Chain A
């Protein structure tokens, strides 16, 4: 990766996951380059962005709407991105905030959709369903889905995205200590609801 500062009308050119390279070209001559960079980013991160929205909103159509908006916002902000890592952090942060905003705006509609109704929803990645008890996974998703918004997003980032406390704090723009305490409370709720199901009694 090459480091460079974002410069006004310049566009970050992303050459893909195989040969990652970020460079500078002027916007005037690089509409196709911009499109190509954007396509690479969409294809590489569509699962992450869609999954954050989907796990949070529990609604495939809403998740697609939010994920599309996130990528369009990315398209408008390509010139501000400095590196692939910056792109990932940016996408994660915007996906979090847009999902939370969407949930607030559409509180009633989102609440009507439960995990039970999502049988025809997006495919799970497969490994989880093969290796674990499907009923337990379903129960866990139900409990997570019932958590308050911010707590749910912290749990999604922690266990879906494997994000560290600092990363979660940056994505959600909250202090690290708040992330810690939120996770602690989420764990307590999960322990209470799920503990016996995984043979831990009152874990």
Chain B
């Protein structure tokens, strides 16, 4: 057992050697471990963002010129396909159909749309206007989600998740490191 041995204790004087009481110390540590384990929070919660400020947060300086930017409209109204529509204002630039293939994930009834995610990433790489570091370009490409009123929220989240697949760098979002942020900002269509 642990102790302090000074080699003294001769000549009728009290010994200065001491045994450190390790057993109470271990008991204390075990109590501390048990308490911290019981109160520990193992949270797996996260969030996905949706911003109602279209075309993005207000900037301090006034815009130099009003330029209509491309927006990606994602229609999930059909049963068998999604429709991706690039628009500049009211002008339709391009329309792409994507098969609506839902892939189940886990055993909680979650689904994913990998084909949609892949196509959106391709489209953003070709047509996205804001793909650089967020430090240099604070604006984000806008995606507008059109959905039926009766669509379950889990399907809506699966589509938003697919829209957030393309990522861009952000070196100012966290101090000291560059992280990946979604390339799109999603909002809902009221129609």
Do A and B share a complex?
no
Q: Which A residues form the contact surface with B (CB < 8 A)?
A: none
